[in-house]
Structure 1
Amino acid sequence: MTSLTPPVHQSPFLGPRGIPQATHTLSPWQKVFLILAGAGLCSAFFLGPWQNVIFYINLTFSVIFLIGSIYRLYLVDLSLRVRHSAYADTHAQDPPQWPTYTIQIPLYREARAIIPLSRALNQLDYPKDRLTIQLLIEEDDHETMQAAQQANLPEHFKIIPIPYSQPRTKPKACNVGLAQANSDYLVIYDAEDRPEPDQLKKAVRAFSKLPPAVACIQAKLNFYNARHNLITRLFAAEYAVWFDLCLPALAFLDAPIPLGGTSNHFRLDILKQVKGWDEFNVTEDCDLGLRLYQMGYRTQILPSTTWEEATSELPIWIRQRSRWVKGYVQTYLVHMRHPFRLLTRLGIKNFLHFQLLIGSAILGQLLNPIYWTLVTIWLLAIFGGAAWMPALTQFQHQLSQFYPLPVFLMAATCLFIGNFCLLYSCALACCIRTFFDLAKYTILMPFYWFIMGIAAWKGTLQLIHRPHFWEKTEHHRTGTS
């Protein structure tokens, strides 16, 4: 019989952590800085040759875009060269008794997921008497609550109601569960996750060989429905680059690692010591990875995969991606409230990693659709656009006043080089992941990144008026498991 735990009406981990939280987006000095920067830019347009202003703005953005792309390519190359030494070692003797493990499953409007989820978790090769599985269900989500109560789940499943309060986010639910966890280790899975059966044992073996300062081991992620349609194919290629190439390289470099939203294995005592997750951050995983590093802890990568369900419908994909970008912007602004303190805690090398990994990625996603649109208009106007759309040539002529040819050539060069680096990385990652049939689809990645840019603008603008709104991602729509 599954136990039902009385609700906790406030997360005991809500409060100061010694590192800023996302309770508000901008600090007073950041607001002043943005106002002064905007005023300075407007003054430069009015007082100086505006063509020079346009040139230097584009020069700055193009160089950042290019450096960010080359940086990603560097991580990919490094990962190939140190591939076997970049992962946590899981070859250790099994302990006389396996340590206790808590599995957290945040659930919201996931009634259909309960039975498939219980089947997947029951396939885990780990002693059931050493497991506690927390189903974290919003108190007013009656359908999911009823489905869980009627599913006849085993004894080690525990239903924890999450009372209605703001913010309504996944990290708040996880913190409520964290307060009730008393195991040695803790891992988070999403409702649709299918972890490899030996993942928990691999994590225990890895922790036994790693120094105590390693607080977290991140498993790799990819999709069991990768071949459902074009969106899922490109999504799988993107995940292969990030989890199979970039993150192992970051671990090898001893750099801060932005965690994935699932399959993070923690030493529970350290997770409680750092007060869990920032409940106001909509990418709490990325924030926690950075916060762990600043507090002296490290993250390693586990050579085990959790299979998720890729969002297969464009509107749902855009909502999910816009939340991720909003959270990355949120995380960047929060950690940059005290840049010199951050520099001291990370060191120069890792401070630059942070700027390139988070800062340039945000800027690149925002710039990509703008630059592709401008380049497309320019090329169409030059190569015969006037014959079938005279207004296009007129628009290109007006555009050239603000976007002179040297600036266009510079931006176009950076755009093409940057996209080539990313195309190469995606095709290579597909081959390494043995998704050979998906490699040919990576030629379409520029269109995928264009749509990603639209989602990035949506998320960034939403940060202004709905900073803590959690856009729910709908799952179990492909029928593939």
Structure 2
Amino acid sequence: MAEPGAAREPGVAERLADDEYCAAALIEAVDGLRTRFPDASASIAFTRTQKIAGAVVAAVVLACAIAWPIPTAATLVSAMTAVYILALSDRLLIFRRGLTSGPVVIDDDLARSLPDDALPAYTVLIPAYDEPEVVGELIANMRALEYPPDKVQILLLLEADDTVTIEAARGLDDDESVTVVLVPPAEPRTKPKACNYGLAFANGDIVTIYDAEDEPDPLQLRRVAAAFAAADSDVVCIQGKLSFHNATDNLLTKWFTADYGIWFGFLLPGIMASRSPIPLGGTSNHFRRSLLDEIGAWDPHNVTEDADLGVRIAARGYRTEVLDSVTLEEANVDGINWIRQRSRWYKGYMQTWLVHMRHPVRLWRTLGPVGVYRFTLLLAGTPVIACVNMAFWLILLTWVTGEPRAIAALFPGLFYYLALISLILGNGAAVYMNIIAIREDDRSELLGSALLVPAYWVMMSIAAIKGMWQLLVSPSYWEKTAHGLATPKKSGDGDEEDVS
């Protein structure tokens, strides 16, 4: 509480009306990270050293391919086979740890037992762009949060030239629980830039992000407050679990739901147990505000700013915990829309790996050998393996259709058997993890889709190839994911209203 006679801190309305303050907030939102921590910014996709190293490697591979085509191809295939085995082994290890340890659990009674006056002040940032169809649902979802109204600040972040969403949000003028913040037009036009701008108007001790269509667990804020209270001082972020309210719309949404079930239910808790960097999800991550100020908040030039922030948290010696509290989202029902979204994620993963590998020795010292190993397999290995999958499938098709001798030369000695193990056991293990995750989550309606999941992998490969191409030609371009395409929510599931 301020002492008598002390200057009162301006409120949100006063700061929004202060043109000078808003101009400074925009500069900080765009340039804050790259000004204070230039090596942590993805505003430059490739450093000079990385460009030279990439060019040298490409030139050597091309020269070898011209001079010795078969041995060069065999060497590349052998190297990627080894990467497959390493990635598969690590993924199974992480999955097993997640299966046995699981996320942090805060039950309802404990969450509700915290007295209101002991709860920290909260700021909820909700960035939205060209999403007029979900604004109405936003109010109901935010009102459902069981948190003292005087301790939660909800900021709806809209681009100042997004007239359709602004028009849809005019109905919020009479709702004091939500404050509309117009983000001045400026490049890059990304979600993290909007969140950085909103942070300038945040007054909470804990800051979280929800997407406009999100339906969080009503007790999620209280669960997070309890989790922070019980956690060690080095825990600065709590990541909630994500799932979908339209899981059974079609085969794609079933695959997507099972994919999220494995990732948030088992793999992230497994990574948490190993104390390796956790690539955060794009929503339902809750931060101590002091942490965001310390490390420069979000990178507006990184298209997976969440994953990047998770690595920066670990690189500073802090930790993230995964909480068993679910936020429901809308799963993509359209294949093209899904590929746009997934290609951005793959691009951002590689973008994040390139940024943090600018100083590999320093990263090794802060994360340790296991942390760097797992960080590389997850952030670089995931998109690379998804890309290379297409080449291996073409090799398999060639072998099956009657050219075994030509293919045999690509798998010398031991690597033939390693590739066979990867083909049979690797694909089998991936399907097995899907089935186990579905069983543990009691989602029997997804079982049939798990048996057809190889077709989903083909879509992943297409998205990864697209994302890696975009990394070269437009690294900071943010491909917008369209929302409001799902079927109406079904009554009886707690989702009574239409979100489309």
Query: Hey, what's the Cα distance between the residues in 1 that align with 2:183 and 2:263?
Result: 32
* Structure 2 match to 1:480: 488
Q: Shift of residue 284 of structure 1?
A: 0.1
After alignment, is 36-45 or 350-359 more displaced?
36-45
Query: Hey, what's the Cα distance between the residues in 1 that align with 2:165 and 2:329?
Result: 20
Residue correspondences, number: 463
Matched, 1:94 2:94: no
Return the TM-score normalized by structure 1: 0.91
Q: Is the 8 A contact 1:66 1:417 kept in 2?
A: no
Work out which of the residue numbers 94, 101, 120 in structure 2 matches 1:75: 94
Matched, 1:257 2:265: no
What's the % identity of the aligned pairs?
36
How far does the alpha carbon of each residue in 1:215-256 deviate from its partner, in whole angstroms, 9 at most, with x for none?
A: 100000011100100000000011001000001111111111
Q: Is the 8 A contact 1:237 1:430 kept in 2?
A: yes
How far does the alpha carbon of each residue in 1:37-91 deviate from its partner, in whole angstroms, 9 at most, with x for none?
A: 12222333345x43222212101101101221221111111122223xx426564
Q: Shift of residue 440 of structure 1?
A: 2.4
Amino acid at match of 2:348: G
Work out which of the residue numbers 353, 360, 369 in structure 1 matches 2:390: 369
Change (3 A) 1:292 1:88: farther
Work out which of the residue numbers 443, 449, 457 in structure 1 matches 2:457: 449
Matched, 1:307 2:324: no
Q: Shift of residue 211 of structure 1?
A: 2.0
Q: Is the 8 A contact 1:11 1:175 kept in 2?
A: no
Query: Hey, what's the Cα distance between the residues in 1 that align with 2:263 and 2:475?
Result: 26
SS at match of 1:180: coil
* Structure 1 match to 2:48: 28
Q: Is the 8 A contact 1:426 1:442 kept in 2?
A: yes
* Structure 2 match to 1:172: 193
SS at match of 2:437: helix
How far does the alpha carbon of each residue in 1:123-146 deviate from its partner, in whole angstroms, 9 at most, with x for none?
A: 111111111110000010011111
Structure 1 runs (4+) deviating above 6 angstroms are 404-409
Query: Hey, what's the Cα distance between the residues in 2 that align with 1:161 and 1:342?
Result: 37
Q: Is the 8 A contact 2:384 2:464 kept in 1?
A: no
Larger RCO, structure (CA 8 Å, separation 6 or more):
1
Amino acid at match of 1:165: A
Amino acid at match of 2:175: P
How far does the alpha carbon of each residue in 1:123-178 deviate from its partner, in whole angstroms, 9 at most, with x for none?
A: 11111111111000001001111111234452121111111111000000000001
Work out which of the residue numbers 409, 429, 444 in structure 2 matches 1:421: 429
How much is the aligned-residue C-alpha RMSD, in angstroms? 2.1
Return the TM-score normalized by structure 2: 0.88
How far does the alpha carbon of each residue in 1:401-458 deviate from its partner, in whole angstroms, 9 at most, with x for none?
A: 9746867765354233222121111111111111112122111111101111001000
After alignment, is 202-211 or 416-425 more displaced?
416-425
Q: Is the 8 A contact 1:3 1:159 kept in 2?
A: no
Counterparts of residues 69-468 of structure 1 (less than 5 Å): 69-83=88-102, 86-87=103-104, 91=110, 93-97=113-117, 98-379=119-400, 381-382=401-402, 396=403, 400=407, 403=410, 410-468=418-476
After alignment, is 143-152 or 230-239 more displaced?
143-152
Q: Is the 8 A contact 1:89 1:209 kept in 2?
A: no
Amino acid at match of 1:144: T
SS at match of 2:451: helix
Query: Hey, what's the Cα distance between the residues in 2 that align with 1:162 and 1:344?
Result: 38
Query: Hey, what's the Cα distance between the residues in 2 that align with 1:459 and 1:166?
Result: 20
Work out which of the residue numbers 10, 21, 28 in structure 2 matches 1:12: 28
Q: Is the 8 A contact 1:224 1:308 kept in 2?
A: yes
Change (3 A) 1:273 1:158: same
SS at match of 2:28: coil
Q: Shift of residue 17 of structure 1?
A: 2.4
Query: Hey, what's the Cα distance between the residues in 1 that align with 2:39 and 2:167?
Result: 39
Change (3 A) 1:165 1:89: same
Amino acid at match of 1:12: E
Q: Is the 8 A contact 2:64 2:72 kept in 1?
A: yes
Query: Hey, what's the Cα distance between the residues in 1 that align with 2:261 and 2:174?
Result: 34
Q: Is the 8 A contact 1:66 1:415 kept in 2?
A: no
* Structure 2 match to 1:37: 57
Query: Hey, what's the Cα distance between the residues in 1 that align with 2:321 and 2:101?
Result: 14
Q: Shift of residue 355 of structure 1?
A: 1.5
- Structure 1: gaps spanning 5 or more residues: 383-395
SS at match of 2:200: helix
Change (3 A) 1:11 1:158: farther
SS at match of 2:158: strand
Q: Is the 8 A contact 1:229 1:312 kept in 2?
A: yes
Q: Is the 8 A contact 2:249 2:487 kept in 1?
A: no
SS at match of 2:485: coil
Change (3 A) 1:18 1:215: farther
Query: Hey, what's the Cα distance between the residues in 2 that align with 1:165 and 1:420?
Result: 47
Query: Hey, what's the Cα distance between the residues in 2 that align with 1:217 and 1:11?
Result: 28
